[in-house]
Chains A and B, each alone.
Chain A
Amino acid sequence: MKFITAIIKPFKLDEVKEALSAVGIEGMTVTEVKGYGRQKGHTEIYRGSEYTVDFLPKVKIEIAVTDDLVGKAVEAITKSAKTGKIGDGKIFVMPLEEVIRIRTDERGEAAV
C-alpha cells in the first residue's frame, strides 16, 4: 500500500478527481494549502506599495492506494494536473503501514 500526496494547481482539482475515479480510485482528502517551489511568489501593488507574496495558494490531495494501482494513480494525476507551465506541483509517494476502516474494523488492502 502506498500513500500519495499531490500538490496541484487549484483549478486542476476537478480534472484530477475525475482522472482518479476513472482508474478506480474512490475517495480522497483535499486541503487548501499555501506554499512555494520553483514558481516562487508573485507581486501585488496597492497604489505605491509593492508586496511580494511568497506563498501561493495550492490544493493538496491525499489518497491511499493498493500497490497495483500506484502507477495508474500517479499517471492519472500527472496527466490531468499538467499545464506544462512552472508551478504545476509535485507528487509524493510514501509507503503505508496500515489502513483501518473505522466503521467495520477492516484492515489492510481491504480497507483502502
Chain B
Amino acid sequence: MKSLLNMFRFRLGLVAVLLVTGTVWAQTPAATPAAPPPPTAEERLAALEAYVNNVDPVKGPLVGVAGPGHNAWMMTSAALVLFMTLPGLALFYGGLVRRKNVLSVLAQCLGITGLVTLMWWAFGYSLVFGKSFNSPFLGGTEYFFLKGVTSAPNTDYAYWISQNVFSMYQMMFAIITPALIVGAVAERMKFSAILLFVAIWMVVVYFPLAHMIWGVTGFMNGVWNGDAVIKAIDFAGGTVVHMSSGWSALILCIILGPRLGFGKEKMAPHSLVLCMVGTGMLWVGWYGFNAGSALAADGVAANAFMTTTLAAAVAAFTWGMIEKLSRGHASILGFCSGAVAGLVVITPAAGFVDPTGAIVIGVIAGAVPYLACTKMKSMFRYDDALDTFGVHAVGGTLGALVTGFLATASVNSNLTGSYATKNGLAKLVTDGGLWLEQAKAIGITLVLSILATVVIAYLVKALVGLRPAPEAESQGLDITDHQEEGYIN
C-alpha cells in the first residue's frame, strides 16, 4: 500500500513539478531515484507475521514501525499503572491514616508523580534504558531529555511498541515505587523532606537497580542479557519496585522514629471505605503493571493476566480466612491487605508461572505478609505506619524467591531463549537452581536499598530535617504542610 502510494506521488511530482510547491517535494523524499526497491510480497508477509508473533521483523516495510495492537495495549497499560498511584495508592494509603493527615498522603503521591516525571525526562529513562555506558550497573546518556525517543520502537526492548510509549510505561513504575515508601513514614515526615529523599533515592537506588534488572546490558537481567552475571528473573518488579521500596521504607521509618503517641493513642484508619476503593483501583491497575510487562499484547501478557487474577483473589481470601479462623472476624482491611500482598508476590512471577504456581503464590502471599504485619511488627515495635514493609518488602522478597522455584518455560519461551541459553539461565530453569540466582539478586537489592537509605536519610535530616515540629505533627500535616483540610466538619 505504502509503495503504491510512493509511486503515485513520484509520478505526480514529475508531472506537476512546476505547479506544485516545494513543500510537496519535502514530503516525498522516498520519491528520489535512489529509493530502495519496493519490498516483495514475501517480505511484506514476513513482516506481518513478525508483528503477529511479536518477533523482530529484521527487514521489510515494517522495520522501525510500531504495531498498532501492541502499542494500543501498552498505552492502556501505562495509563493503568499511573492509575495505581493516582488515585489507587493515594486512596489506599489515604484511607489508612487519621483524618487530619489524609491530604498529606495525597500531596505526597502527587508531588512524587511530578518530581519523578521531570527526573525521568531529564536523565532517568536514559540512565535505566540507555546503553552508552556499556555498563551492567547504569544505562547511558543517549536519551537525556528524551532526545531521540520517538514513535519508532527501541528494539533492544520491544520490537513492536513505540519507544515513547515504552518510556512513559516505564516511567509509571518509577513513579509508584517511591510513592510506596510514603506508607511507612506517613503522618510524621515533612513534605519537603520526602521530596528531597525521593529525588536522591531515585538516582542512587532506583535507576541503577532498574538498569541491573531490566536494562539490556543489566547485571542481573537473565532473560534479555546474554552476558548477565547473575541470571535472575523479575517479570514486573518484585526486586526493583517492591523490595527496594519496602526495605528502604523500613530503614527510613526506623531512622524517623515512631509517630507521636504511637502505642498510646488510637491511630485507627479514618476511612476503610477509601481504603477499599483504593485497593480495587490498585488491583485493576495491576493488570497494566503485570500483563503490560510482557511489553506486547501477546501470549505472555495473557498468561500474566491470568496468574495476576488468581494470586490476588486467593491471597485476599486467604488473609480474610486466617483472620476469621484465628480471631473470629474477617476484616475489610484484611481482605484488602491480602489482595495487595497477592499482587505484590505474583509481580516478579506473573509472566513465568502457570496457574498452579499462581495459586501456590496466592496462598503464601495471604499467609506470610499476614504474619509479618501482625506478629513481627509488634515483636520489634517499629512504626511502619501503613505496613509498607510487611506487605511490599516481605511480599517482594518472597515473590522473588518463589519465582526461582515456580518459573517454567512452558508459559514463557524466553526463559530458554538465545540469551538465556548463552548466560546459562535456560539450564537453571530446566534443571533447577534458579532460586540461588534469585537469592543473589535479593541480596544485592537488599544491601543497596538499606545502605543507600541510611546515608540519604541522614543527609536529608542534616539539610532540611525529617520531621515536622511536634505541635505541627499533632495538629496534622494537612493544615501545617498544605494549609487545607480533607473534610470540612
- B3-37 contacts to A, CB under 8 A, are none
The answer to whether A47 and B387 have CB atoms under 8 Å apart is yes
Assess whether A102 is interfacial by the CB under 8 Å rule.
Answer: no
Cβ 8 A contact of B377, one of A44, A45, A48, A53 = A48
Assess whether A11 is interfacial by the CB under 8 Å rule.
Answer: no
Q: How far is the CA of A45 from the CA of B327 in the complex (A)?
A: 10
Assess whether B378 is interfacial by the CB under 8 Å rule.
Answer: yes
Which residues from chain B contact A48 at a C-beta distance below 8 Å? 373-375, 377-378
The answer to whether A49 and B334 have CB atoms under 8 Å apart is no
The answer to whether A47 and B337 have CB atoms under 8 Å apart is yes
Assess whether B260 is interfacial by the CB under 8 Å rule.
Answer: no
Cβ of B380 to closest chain A Cβ, rounded Å: 11
The answer to whether A51 and B375 have CB atoms under 8 Å apart is no
Cβ 8 A contact of A46, one of B268, B375, B390 = B268
Assess whether B331 is interfacial by the CB under 8 Å rule.
Answer: yes
Q: How far is the CA of A31 from the CA of B377 in the complex (A)?
A: 40
The answer to whether A46 and B378 have CB atoms under 8 Å apart is no
Which residues from chain A contact B333 at a C-beta distance below 8 Å? 46-47
Q: How far is the CA of A76 from the CA of B17 in the complex (A)?
A: 103
Cβ of B393 to closest chain A Cβ, rounded Å: 15
- With an 8 Å Cβ cutoff, the count of chain B residues facing the other chain is 17
- A23-77 contacts to B, CB under 8 A, are 44-49, 51, 53
The listed residue with most B CB atoms (<10 A of its CB), out of A45, A49, A51, is: A49
Which residues from chain A contact B375 at a C-beta distance below 8 Å? 48
The listed residue with most B CB atoms (<10 A of its CB), out of A45, A47, A49, A53, is: A47
Cβ of B323 to closest chain A Cβ, rounded Å: 8
Q: How far is the CA of A51 from the CA of B390 in the complex (A)?
A: 20
Assess whether B280 is interfacial by the CB under 8 Å rule.
Answer: no
Q: How far is the CA of A89 from the CA of B390 in the complex (A)?
A: 42
Q: How far is the CA of A14 from the CA of B486 in the complex (A)?
A: 34
Cβ of A53 to closest chain B Cβ, rounded Å: 8
Assess whether B2 is interfacial by the CB under 8 Å rule.
Answer: no
The answer to whether A45 and B331 have CB atoms under 8 Å apart is yes
Q: How far is the CA of A34 from the CA of B186 in the complex (A)?
A: 29
Assess whether B111 is interfacial by the CB under 8 Å rule.
Answer: no
The answer to whether A49 and B268 have CB atoms under 8 Å apart is yes
The answer to whether A47 and B266 have CB atoms under 8 Å apart is no
Cβ of A103 to closest chain B Cβ, rounded Å: 31
Assess whether B455 is interfacial by the CB under 8 Å rule.
Answer: no
Cβ of A24 to closest chain B Cβ, rounded Å: 37
Assess whether B468 is interfacial by the CB under 8 Å rule.
Answer: no
The answer to whether B374 and A51 have CB atoms under 8 Å apart is no
The answer to whether B373 and A51 have CB atoms under 8 Å apart is no
Q: How far is the CA of A36 from the CA of B91 in the complex (A)?
A: 33
Q: Which residue of B lies closest to A52 (CB)?
A: B266
Assess whether B58 is interfacial by the CB under 8 Å rule.
Answer: no
Cβ of B276 to closest chain A Cβ, rounded Å: 13
- B367-389 contacts to A, CB under 8 A, are 373-375, 377-378, 387
Which residues from chain A contact B266 at a C-beta distance below 8 Å? 51, 53
Which residues from chain A contact B334 at a C-beta distance below 8 Å? 47
Which residues from chain A contact B327 at a C-beta distance below 8 Å? 45
Assess whether B355 is interfacial by the CB under 8 Å rule.
Answer: no
Which residues from chain B contact A44 at a C-beta distance below 8 Å? 268
Which residues from chain B contact A45 at a C-beta distance below 8 Å? 327, 329, 331
Assess whether B267 is interfacial by the CB under 8 Å rule.
Answer: yes
Listed by A's residue number, 25 A-B pairs whose Cβ atoms lie within 8 Å are A44-B268, A45-B327, A45-B329, A45-B331, A46-B268, A46-B269, A46-B331, A46-B333, A47-B333, A47-B334, A47-B337, A47-B373, A47-B374, A47-B387, A47-B390, A48-B373, A48-B375, A48-B377, A48-B378, A49-B267, A49-B268, A51-B266, A51-B267, A51-B268, A53-B266
Chain A residues with a Cβ under 8 A of chain B:
44-49, 51, 53
What are the 5 tightest A-B residue pairs by CB atom distance, in nearest-first order? A48-B374, A47-B373, A51-B266, A48-B377, A48-B378
